[in-house]
Amino acid sequence: MTQAEKERRFQEKIDKEIKIEPNDWMPDEYRQTLVRQISQHAHSEIVGMLPEGNWITRAPNLRRKAVLLAKVQDEAGHGLYLYSAVETLGTSREQTIDDLHSGKAKYSSIFNYPALTWADIGAIGWLVDGAAIMNQVALCRTSYGPYARAMVKICKEESFHQRQGYESLMKLCSGTPQQKAMAQDAMNRFWWPALMMFGPSDAASTHSDQSIKWKIKRFTNDELRQSFVDATVEQAQILGLTIPDPNLKWNEERGHYDFSEINWDEFWQVVKGNGPCNKERLAARVKAKEEGMWVREAATAFAKKRAMKQSA
Amino acid sequence: MQQPALFEYVLRIADDSLILGQRLGEWCGHGPILEEDIAMTNIALDLIGQSISLYDFAAELEGTGKNHDQLAYLRYENEYKNILLVEQPNGDFAMTILRQFFFDAFRLPFYEALMQSPVAQLAAVAAKSVKETRYHLKHTSEWVIRMGDGTDESHQRAQSAIDHLWRYTNELFYENEVDQTLQAEGKVPALSAIRTQWLSTVTNVLSEATLQIPTNDWKFDGGREGRHSEHMGYILSDLQYMQRAYPNMEW
């Protein structure tokens, strides 16, 4: 079969909504795109544990502490499924993680912003997980089978994360003026970075067209960003929080909210590594890997010894 | 208060769980393997869950209308009755696992015995927690064996952790008039029988791990009387931060 014929058949499957499975033929670029996207997603889960993990020891009551522990544990689990999904494409977890540490692979820039107050934990749940869900719900129908199946499970847990974040902010917004101000401050700091989570605008996105054709992505960055804004405005009103955008208003004609242009300079600066916490986040991951080296070596050495004993 | 000895006893178990859960929570996102991040968070979650049930019961016994958070968050350092072992710093992974192993090896037979208590609330917490603790002990035992019988480095790290922590293990069996009162009433188990089971678990696991029980029998205690190590104040400054900085607010 010629290359062109293989590609034609591959696209035919995609068009018929037949999932691509690990042993199926796929174009190299499809494989690379998936490795890039899924590993980026996995790294986001793992790096995302850090800002929230910071607050586990300071959670204001036992119930919140337990919920936060459960949430961060879920995120580690998501990282695990997603690294496994990357492995089905022929790239080991070790290699994927090395790419993160060398700076070759990216993760969601949102986690390069600091979690300064308890309200930030609520805002991360509501806005950050909310934005993530917009992306992820669409990914449940992505063309690569293992990725789509991982996303179904992840989405269920993410919607619990978003609800707990919203519920936590609800408590602050119905509390004292000081608590309400803490919630508004978190909203002010997280709103724009949350909108940036959908990536560059469609005009500036280098990977979008091909990904849509291959049904890796079902919607463009701008479409998903708009859906998120439309869904979130009313939720903010219920909380009594102000979205920090003077140009936010309903556009009858478009049937959507209009909003200001994102500060793309800030977006690219953070992507390039110049966000408030880029260095700290990566350093924490590298440190965990280095300090855990002897543990992994011990586990390997022990497994070998046991295997030898059994075969002896 | 109707039953001051029982109140004190429940607080001890609750504080052991809370402080150890708090320590494990510090690992979150920094574990040596992703699977261990999940496992340690899971153990922390179980311990915090146990502490909630126990503080609820303690609050009921105290009878002043407090809730579990007021007990967990708003006492002074010398009012916490956890043992010194659980407040020791995480150190490296070997230190964390050995601390947890010594604790789990105690907690399992302790909860098994406590399930027989005629105090219904204690028996219920024990029955729920015993299942969780069985998993914790299995997990930590496996790691002790892996580290001890892994590489030279892991063996040496595990042995150092044992040598360091051994002095805190005696306090697991600390008894005073609180225990005597409750044991006389037949409400709680004698810790001497549990010590035998603990020592047997520890001896078996360390032997399989090719690790040594220290000959040094230097012993520390004080936690049960509210005399803690220097670490405790820092643990509480994190734990209590929100409640102290923003008093009387709901979260």
**Does residue B48 contact residue B18 with C-beta atoms inside 8 Å?**
yes
> Which chain A residue is nearest to residue B151, measuring alpha carbons?
A298
CA atoms of A265 and A271, how far apart (whole Å): 10
Q: Angle at the Cα of A187 (from A186 to A191), degrees rounded to 5?
A: 120
- Write phi, then psi, for B97 (nearest 5 degrees): -70, -40
CA atoms of A190 and B132, how far apart (whole Å): 38
Contacts of B191 (CB under 8 A, 6+ apart): B110, B172, B173, B174, B175, B179
Task: Report whether pLDDT(A242) > 90.
Answer: yes
* B150 and chain A in contact, CB less than 8 A: yes
Token pair recorded at residue A237: 């009103």
Instruction: Tell me which residue in B22, B34, B149 faces A76 most closely, judged by beta carbons.
Output: B34
Is the Cβ pair B249, A175 closer than 8 Å?
yes
Token pair recorded at residue A90: 């022929």
Instruction: Tell me which residue in A57, A77, A293 faces B25 most closely, judged by beta carbons.
Output: A57
**Does residue A117 contact residue A99 with C-beta atoms inside 8 Å?**
no
| pLDDT value of residue A1 | 85
| pLDDT value of residue A209 | 83
| pLDDT value of residue B85 | 98
Contacts of A263 (CB under 8 A, 6+ apart): A192
Task: Report whether pLDDT(B155) > 90.
Answer: yes
Would you call A218 exposed, middle or buried from its count of C-beta atoms within 10 A (0-12, 13-18, 19+)?
A: middle
* A241 and chain B in contact, CB less than 8 A: no
Is the Cβ pair B49, A64 closer than 8 Å?
no
Task: Report whether pLDDT(B218) > 90.
Answer: no
Task: Report whether pLDDT(A132) > 80.
Answer: yes
Position B165 confidence tier, pLDDT thresholds 50, 70, 90: very high
* B242 and chain A in contact, CB less than 8 A: yes
Per-residue pLDDT tens digits for A143-191: 999 999 999 999 999 999 999 999 999 999 999 999 999 999 999 999 9
CA atoms of B235 and A180, how far apart (whole Å): 28
Instruction: Tell me which residue in A49, A57, A59 faces B26 most closely, judged by beta carbons.
Output: A57
| pLDDT value of residue A107 | 95
| pLDDT value of residue A206 | 74
* B75 and chain A in contact, CB less than 8 A: no
DSSP assignment string, A105-158: S---GGGGS---SHHHHHHIIIIIHHHHHHHHHHHTT-SBHHHHHHHHHHHHHH
Percent of chain A with pLDDT over 90: 94
Q: Which domains does chain B have, with CATH numbers?
A: 4-212+221-245 (1.20.1260.10)
| pLDDT value of residue B10 | 98
- For residue B37, give the nearest of A199, A78, A39 by alpha carbon: A78
**Does residue A162 contact residue A232 with C-beta atoms inside 8 Å?**
no
Chain A contacts of B87, Cβ < 8 Å? none
User: What is the crossing angle of helices B120-148 and B34-62, to 10°?
Assistant: 160
Per-residue pLDDT tens digits for A257-290: 999 999 999 999 999 999 999 999 999 999 999 9
Mutate to test the interface with A, among B15, B28, B48 (most CBs of A within 10 A): B28
**Does residue A24 contact residue A89 with C-beta atoms inside 8 Å?**
no
| pLDDT value of residue B7 | 98
| pLDDT value of residue B2 | 85
What Rg do the C-alpha atoms of chain A give, in angstroms?
A: 21
**Does residue B90 contact residue B25 with C-beta atoms inside 8 Å?**
no
Chain A contacts of B31, Cβ < 8 Å? 288, 292
**Least confident residue range of A129-133, A306-310, B32-36, B112-116:** A306-310
The overall average pLDDT reported for chain A is 96
CA torsion angle A178 A184 A186 A189 (round to 10): -140
Would you call B174 exposed, middle or buried from its count of C-beta atoms within 10 A (0-12, 13-18, 19+)?
A: middle
CA atoms of A86 and A105, how far apart (whole Å): 13
Per-residue pLDDT tens digits for A31-85: 999 999 999 999 999 999 999 999 999 999 999 999 999 999 999 999 999 999 9
Instruction: Tell me which residue in B29, B45, B154 faces A49 most closely, judged by beta carbons.
Output: B29
pTM: 0.96
* B153 and chain A in contact, CB less than 8 A: yes
Specify the DSSP element, H or E, that contains A256. Answer: strand A256-258
ipTM of the complex model: 0.97
**Does residue B183 contact residue B113 with C-beta atoms inside 8 Å?**
no
Chain A contacts of B49, Cβ < 8 Å? 66
- For residue B53, give the nearest of B27, B72, B37 by alpha carbon: B72
DSSP assignment string, A34-87: HHHHHHHHHHHHHHHHHHHHTTTTT-SSHHHHHHHHHHHHHHHHHHHHHHHHHH
Q: Angle at the Cα of A36 (from A33 to A40), degrees rounded to 5?
A: 140
Three-class DSSP category at A167: helix
Task: Report whether pLDDT(B217) > 90.
Answer: no
The rounded Cα A25 to chain-centroid distance in angstroms is: 28
Per-residue pLDDT tens digits for B127-152: 999 999 999 999 999 999 999 999 99
Chain B contacts of A302, Cβ < 8 Å? 145-146, 149-150
CA atoms of B235 and A59, how far apart (whole Å): 13
Most distant pair of Cα atoms in chain A: their distance: 77
CA atoms of A71 and A164, how far apart (whole Å): 9
Cβ neighbours of B167 (radius 10 Å): 17
Q: Which of residues 78-107 of B touch A (CB under 8 A)?
A: 92-93
pLDDT, average across residues A14-41:
96
Instruction: Tell me which residue in A56, A175, A305 faces B28 most closely, judged by beta carbons.
Output: A56
* A307 and chain B in contact, CB less than 8 A: no
| pLDDT value of residue A312 | 77
Cβ neighbours of A173 (radius 10 Å): 20
